[in-house]
Structure 1
Amino acid sequence: MLRGIGGAGAAALLAGCGVPAAYVDPEDRAGRDLSARDRVLHFANWPLYIDTDDDDKSKRPTLDAFRKRTGISVRYTEEINDNDEFFGKIGPALMNHQETGRDLIVISDWMAARYVRLGWVQEMDRAKQPNVARYLDPLLRKPAFDAGRLHSVPWQSGITGIAYNRKKLGREIRSTKELWADDLRGKVTLLSGLDESFSLLMQGRGVDVTRWTADDFHGLCEQIEDLVRRKHLRRFTGNDYIKDLSTGDVLACQAYSGDIIQLQADNPDIEFVVPEEGAELWAESLMIPNLAQHKRNAEQLVDYYYEPAVAAELASWVNYVCPVPAARDILADSGDEERAALAEDPLIFPDDAMRARLAIARDISGDERAEFTKRWNAIVGL
């Protein structure tokens, strides 16, 4: 749900002569900021991606606390269900230098790269965001698509790794290469989206994904094509891999760390692995669209969520990798047994050994995307 699907729709929107016209120059990105007058902001996010009140699911305690502290009300909408779909929703306005009606959005980093390349989002004033400057995880500070993280701030992060049913498989998996063992024939699934899949699979081939090449990509495709021909792969999936894994229809799969935390609550036989060759660290990031009318209010909200206590509250609900490592101590010292356990979960706060195996892949460039998407979609049947 959180990572969305591949980029064919967005690529089509910006194909050919549409790309140059879509770019917005830096001097044309800022709108009139009404923050001082209008103590409000519009925050668009994914469903089920924020804390809620136990007794009233319409209430969001961290947002309520922000309003009480600052006097700024947040119009919070859960309207992002797919990266491409939302791109198509607000893209026409941004392309035509129009205001979107949103001050803050959350987008997967592979898609955020396109917003940055097109000049559709504004730089944030880090001088007014001391918590971001101090507490943002060093692993997330330098994505290739946004040097210095000037246009984006991670909302939550996650790992694309391997999940498997240890009891039913009868052995451990520690390497991506082990997915291709004979005893897993017909019992393995991979993610269908190109942007979601390629990094982990390249890492399994020994590729440095921070600087992979076209040859690396085509070599990977040849490997996956061979696995398809030999019927080693059961199928390619979206988030429905969760059902396949929980029912035992598959024994091992490409998976997201946050999903598996939830699945383990019902099935402790499910394991999540950051392979020996490495795994992808990714994020969904907060960004401020061009011409946003409440930029300063949005910057203030972003910085609020980087207070360790607030980040800890959010992490205890969403169970993804927390981009604020200092939140770990807050949970550990909370006096609550369940929250203290979260502080020790490496899928929320990766330990040093796991962090050493995580990498942020370089993005697929605009010049590469059409060719690579065409080949990948032919393999997975999209």
Structure 2
Amino acid sequence: MKRLLPLIAAASLLASCGEKKPELHLYTWDDYLNPDLITKFEEEYNCRLVVDIFDSNEAMLAKLKAGATGYDVLVPTSYMVKVLAREGMIVELDKSKLPNLQHVDPDYLTSLAFDKEMKWSVPYMLAPTGIAYVSDRVENIEPTWRVFERADLKGRMTLLNDSRETLGAALKTLGFSINTLDPAQIGQAKDLVISWKKNLAKFESDQYDSGLASAEFFVSQAYAGDAFQAQEDNEKIEFILPAEGTSVACDDLVISKNAPNPELAYAFINFLTEPANAAANMEYIYYLAPNKSAYELVSQEFREIDSLFLDAETMKKCEVIDDLGENNKLYHDAWDLVRAAQ
């Protein structure tokens, strides 16, 4: 019997070493979570966080509709939350499992949020879309979307690979709403983007920030947070908001209907909404979390970023991209023509 004890102990040790930790599968945008928070969450919940990346809301939706499964938490933009809810792809939230919702900024919920009661989603990060440029490579830049008409910058500019953002920029340039349902206005915006396309290096949503940092690209339509992250690697990068106006988008946290680990999903959303974690996340990714308790925890330098803390006058020129239901096809069809144009 004594000779069996070491064998039993060894077998027990091997079993414990092979014990698999629970996994949380997150489907989100690139560079959109402070790595220190990943480590902290994994340690606190004795789990593993697995991150998969998408580059547009439409790409995310297409993948889910094609049958992709296994995701616990998704991070769509607010207008796409409405689509996912309508399609039955996400669950109605149990707020009793999310005590940190008390920290969400009520002003944001009242003024900008679509899901004002947080029935389906919890706001994650908020920022406008604008123009990022490398200041020592671009002369006489003006705060206008028409910068993409500049032939002297041909091959050094990018627009987002996102139908609503890019057509939205053209619509604002033409004086129209980014949520217009007028086919003629959408057609004019499509033609304008096609005219810009000849000056582009590419449509790009994932890696344009690294391209700006290396000066491969000189000008990019950019999410504010991406531009500020790129500044960490290249201090010559500047970010401006076009005078014609732009979109302000909030990305939200939702739980997939087929989440393999829903309880861990609730824990993750609550973890990110804890004020100290929200503040640490903001300082790292340079987006604004609509979390009133976290505002006082970020640095003064962060609070002075005008492109995140927008004033009332700027907000008048901004719009939130909305889900247009069956009319989304107007934009999808226009975007297909943009991408096919030579």
| TM superposition score normalised by structure 1 | 0.68
Q: Which amino acid letter does the alignment assign opposite residue 378 of structure 1? A: L
Q: Tell me whether 1:381 sits opposite 2:307 in the alignment.
A: no
CA 161–150 in structure 1, closer or farther in 2 if over 3 Å, else same: same
Deviation at 1:113, TM superposition (A): 3.6
Deviations 1:270-327 (A, max 9, x none): 2111222222122332112225476565445423422322210222222223232542
Give the secondary-structure state (helix, strand or coil) at the position aligned to 1:331.
Answer: coil
Distance 1:80 1:185 in 2: 29
In the alignment, structure 1 residue 327 sits paired with structure 2 residue 294: yes
Return the offset for 1:179: 3.9
Displacement of 1:49: 3.3
Deviation at 1:191, TM superposition (A): 2.2
Match of 1:286 in 2: 253
User: C-alpha distance in 2, partners of 1:112/1:264?
Assistant: 31
Equivalent pair of 2:144/2:242 in contact (CA under 8 Å): yes
Alpha-carbon distance between aligned partners in 2 of 1:40 and 1:136, rounded to the nearest angstrom: 32
Structure with the greater alpha carbon radius of gyration: 2
Partners of 2:162 and 2:112 in 1: CA distance? 20
Q: For each residue in 1:69-122, what CA deviation from the matched residue of structure 2 results, as whole angstroms up to 9, or x when unmatched? A: xxxx5542112345566546554669xxxxx55443323445434312212212
Amino acid at match of 2:24: H
1:319-360 alpha-carbon deviations (Å, 9 max, x no partner):
22323254231123xxxxxxx433333455445555454321
Any unmatched runs of 5+ in structure 1?
Answer: 1-38, 68-72, 95-99, 333-339
Please point out which of 28, 32, 54 is paired with 1:49. Answer: 32
Query: Does the aligned pair in 1 maintain the 2:132–2:240 contact within 8 Å?
Result: yes
* Percent of aligned pairs sharing the same letter: 24
Match of 1:361 among 307, 312, 321: 321
Q: 1:137 to 1:213 in 2, by over 3 A?
A: farther
Find the counterpart in structure 1 of residue 241 from structure 2.
Answer: 274
Extract structure 1 runs of 4+ deviating beyond 6 A: 142-145
Distance 1:365 1:85 in 2: 17
Do the aligned partners of residues 40 and 252 (structure 1) sit closer, same or farther apart at CA in structure 2, a change above 3 Å counting? closer
Residues 88 and 167 (structure 1), Cα distance of their counterparts in 2 relative to 1, 3 Å cut:
closer
Counterpart of 2:5 in structure 1 is none
Judged with a 3 Å threshold, the aligned counterparts in structure 2 of structure 1 residues 290 and 236 are, in CA distance, closer, same or farther, namely closer
C-alpha change, 1:299 and 1:376, in structure 2 (3 Å) is same
Q: How does 1:48-87 map to 2 (within 5 A)?
A: 48-53=31-36, 60-62=39-41, 64-65=43-44, 67=45, 73-82=46-55, 87=61
- Could you say what secondary structure the match of 2:89 adopts? coil
Counterpart in the other structure of 2:182: 213
Query: Contact 2:275/2:293 (CA < 8 Å) preserved in 1?
Result: yes
**In the alignment, which residue of structure 2 is the partner of 1:152?**
121
User: Structure 2 residue aligned with 1:117, among 73, 80, 86?
Assistant: 86
Letter of the aligned partner of 1:313 in structure 2?
Answer: A
3-state SS in 1 of match to 2:140: coil
The alignment's TM-score, normalised by the length of structure 2, stands at 0.75
**Which whole-Å CA distance do the structure 1 matches of 2:97 and 2:182 have between them?**
38
In the alignment, what sits opposite 1:132? 101
CA–CA separation in structure 1 for the residues paired with 2:151 and 2:70 = 53
**Structure 1 position 151, deviation (Å):** 1.0
Amino acid at match of 2:81: A
* SS across alignment from 2:33: coil
* C-alpha separation in 2, matches of 1:89 and 1:209: 25
RMSD: 3.6
Structure 1 residues 210 and 329, CA gap change in structure 2 (3 angstroms): farther
Report which stretch shifted further, 138-147 or 236-245. 138-147
CA separation of 1:129 and 1:248: change in aligned 2, threshold 3 A: closer
Is 1:345 the counterpart of 2:305? The answer is yes
* SS of aligned partner of 1:161: strand
Partner of 2:194: 225
Q: Which residue of 2 aligns with 1:312?
A: 279
The answer to whether the 8 A contact 2:22-2:47 is kept is yes
Cα distance change of structure 1 residues 49 and 164 upon mapping to structure 2, 3 Å threshold = closer
Amino acid at match of 1:270: I
